[in-house]
A and B are shown apart, each in its own frame.
Chain A
Amino acid sequence: MTPADTPRGGVRRRTVLGGAAAAAAGLALAGCGSADDGAPRERKKGQRITLTFWSWVPGIDRPVDLWNRNHPEVQVRVEKVSAVNGEQYAKMHAAIKAGNPPDLGQIEFPVIPSFLLDGGLRDLAPLGAARHRDAFFAWQWRQSVFGSGIYAIPQASGPMGLFVRQDLFDRWGIPVPRTWDAYEAAAKEVRRHGAWIETFAPTNGNRFAGLAWQAGAKWYATHGDTWVVHLDDAPTRRVADYWEGLVRRKLVKTVPDRRDAWYKDIQTGAIPAWVGASWGDALLAGNAPGTKGKWRAAPLPQWQPGDRAYANWGGSTTAVFAKASYPKDALDFALWLNTDPQSIALLLQGGYGFPSAKTGYATSALDADKDFFGGQPYSRVFADAGAHVDTDWQWGPGVDTLFQRLGDAFTDALAGGTSFRSVLTQVQRQTVADLRDKGLKAESGT
């Protein structure tokens, strides 16, 4: 699966220091390769250049082909990277350390601060990026603004919602839940029919963050020069208690989501609902084609009846790496990719998410999998969620580590029976320590 474990698996039994050597080999590779001083250059008129772009978005080659046809002087070459378990970011961080990153990269909102830590991204503000701010939804633009710097161009977001197998819910006489109380009642009903409403995957920190976000949590803040971590706050505790209740009463499964076993359950109706995000439309349609026409999208259940509190899961940007030789051209491409109507149309066909650009597409184009959802114009559900996302949420450095800590602690909690609240206390403590380890000023929020 990963490039790293293939050679190691093969030689395992034969080498004493293999672990160290293999780990060090990666580091050694990272040590060499600074032939170019990487000073940004201005492209001369008529000069032909090629920019490399690391991405994993399905169908990204199509808009890039279109760009290449219209811009013979600035060719963009897409190199696909694996998005399994954050491998793409491991690769980007390693390339930054080695001094040979690509010119452009696909980077999700939560990990932008991690890239700022190793000075990997180019500040686009001096290149005039601020002029284009109004083309994008404000909160998504802000995801890559730190201090006076602008570090990426937003591409798409993932407003959250609830996917349900309407046919099964109807057959079992269960109304689609509008509140989390109703969701719990629905979980009990679904269980009586031998199915499970959901899975609480302990390692899915991203979704847990989204659920906390909806409840009003703010995990990161800055106070002067200090990062304030506040994972163990009242809204997150509320979410943790709620899901712990579902898990302990065996109303939800705990298998990993978006993996073989889960896909099988989705195909067979053993799991008839999913708290997902807008990009889930392509995922369901692609992996459970046999259930075509039976799914519907509904708004995320609310804590207070009648509320409209929503959150975001996923969402990504096009960033320019600090070492990019022609940052101005790279920025031009990033802006074109994410605002040009033709580009957006092609990206939507590929199923890349919910555009960050405010204009340039017809709402109907967002319903790419309309037939799968029985003709429902389901994008309205997500558009409404997107319009009501709590925009004060901020990500901080080391989110990858935070998610891993959270996954490990939830794994322990599921096995050992420690409470979900103690997970929050523990991860908060660890995260503060991790940030300090990285040489940052950090403290716990109160």
Chain B
Amino acid sequence: MSATAARRPRRTGRPGARNARAAAGFVLPFLALFALCYLAPVCYAVWTSLRRTARTGPLGLGTERDVFAGLANYAQALADDRFLTGFGRVLLFGVVQIPLMTALATALALLLESAAARWVTFFRSAFFLPYGVPGVIASILWGFLYVPGLSPLVRIAQAVGWNVDFLSRGSVLWSVANIVTWQFTGYTMLVLIAQLKSVPGELYEAARIDGAGAWQVARYVKLPMLRPALVLTTVFSIIGTLQLFAEPMVLRPLASSIDSGYTPNLHAYSEAFVGNNQHRAAAEAVLLALVACAASFGFLRLVGGRGKEHG
């Protein structure tokens, strides 16, 4: 929604009052929408998270009103085992899935950008295509491939004597990981390719003249050049992982192993729309946003520090 517009907000203004006024004119529509669709809801969520519903009357069925609750909603959210378990689950998911997907995307990007690559445009589009499929649709598609009784994959596996269950408690997280990997590898790959394209050709030429083979060019020239893009895609992946929602939500009715708090986002959703407790849900959403911020900036700091050693 607002997020696409949110990319690269500044850098429009240049010195000079005339330009500044023109810049303001261009930025204003964005700022207005940004405030309306982004800042206002965030503020409202924080406000909601600090309140609770008080009830009076016989059996509490009389009147209700919202009163200030301090941090009670946050305390309750943090005392909720299921909510915390959800965080643990997406952490495990991220530790396994993000490196795997990044490695896969890097390999694909290097292959497509290597001198020996053929049909580059076709493969690039083909790998990128799943990103164009909305997460819900992708989950429904994969859901059909996971459900025993309908899935041809399960039938084939059983025919060769492998009794596989993609939706059991132990395996369903990796079934979700598979959907996410299928969807986002191509996207990550494309970001990496864009970075490779921006590497000046002379660098490769120089490496070749120095006697580097294709493998050495990839290892010692391309990979280091990819670093900023890898950092960027990893941050995207960390945030996306913390916000996992559509896949478990869609698979949930198909599998008896996904509970209502499978991921933190799903927990907040259930709290708001099943439990009808928007206050707690808002607190959980704010906590989730804080964790996403901490994880992203923590990661940036981590790689930033190491980058200085090299530079």
Contact = CB atoms under 8 A, between A and B. Distances in A.
22 contacts: A4-B269, A5-B250, A8-B246, A12-B239, A13-B184, A13-B240, A14-B4, A15-B3, A19-B288, A30-B278, A90-B274, A117-B61, A117-B64, A225-B59, A226-B59, A256-B253, A261-B149, A408-B259, A408-B260, A439-B53, A440-B60, A441-B59
Nearest to B244: A12
Contact of B38 (A21, A94, A256, A438): A21
Chain B interface extent, by class: 35 or more
Interface string A221-263: 0100111000000000000000000000000001110011100
Contacts, number: 226
Given A19-B285, A20-B289, A117-B64, 8 more contacts: A5-B135, A20-B282, A30-B278, A93-B273, A222-B59, A226-B59, A407-B260, A411-B256
Given A25-B41, A117-B60, A439-B52, A20 B150 contact: no
Interface stretch (B42-50, B105-113, B214-222, B299-307): B42-50
Interface string A257-288: 00111001100001000000000000000000
B256 A202 contact: yes
Contacts of B45: 20-21, 23-24, 27
Interface residues of A, number: 78
A96 to B, nearest CB: 10
Contacts of B195: none
A415 B257 contact: yes
A107 B140 CA distance: 29
A265 B1 contact: no
Interface of B: 1-4, 6-7, 37-38, 40-42, 44-45, 48, 52-55, 58-61, 63-64, 76, 82, 134-136, 140, 144, 147-150, 169, 184, 187, 236-237, 239-240, 242-243, 245-246, 249-250, 253-261, 264-265, 268-270, 272-278, 280-282, 285-286, 288-289, 292-293, 296
A114 B55 CA distance: 13
B63 A119 contact: yes
Given A25-B37, A259-B253, A441-B60, A18 B3 contact: yes
A108 to B, nearest CB: 14
Nearest to B243: A19
A70 interface: no
A257 B2 CA distance: 39
A321 B279 CA distance: 23
A8 B45 CA distance: 16
A398 B274 CA distance: 9
Contacts of A226: 59
A35 interface: no
B42 A20 contact: yes
Contact of B1 (A7, A23, A201, A438): A7
A85 interface: yes
B274 A404 contact: yes
A116 interface: yes
A5 B249 contact: yes
A113 B45 CA distance: 27
A388 B184 CA distance: 56
Contacts of B292: 16-17, 19
Nearest first, the 6 closest Cβ-Cβ pairs linking A and B are A9-B135, A24-B41, A24-B45, A15-B3, A9-B246, A415-B169
Nearest to B169: A415
A199 B289 CA distance: 39
Nearest to B38: A21
Nearest to A259: B253
Interface in A25-61: 25-28, 30-31
A397 B60 CA distance: 10
Contacts of A24: 41-42, 44-45, 48, 282, 285
A412 interface: yes
Contacts of B242: 19
A113 B245 CA distance: 29
A342 interface: no
Contacts of B240: 12-13
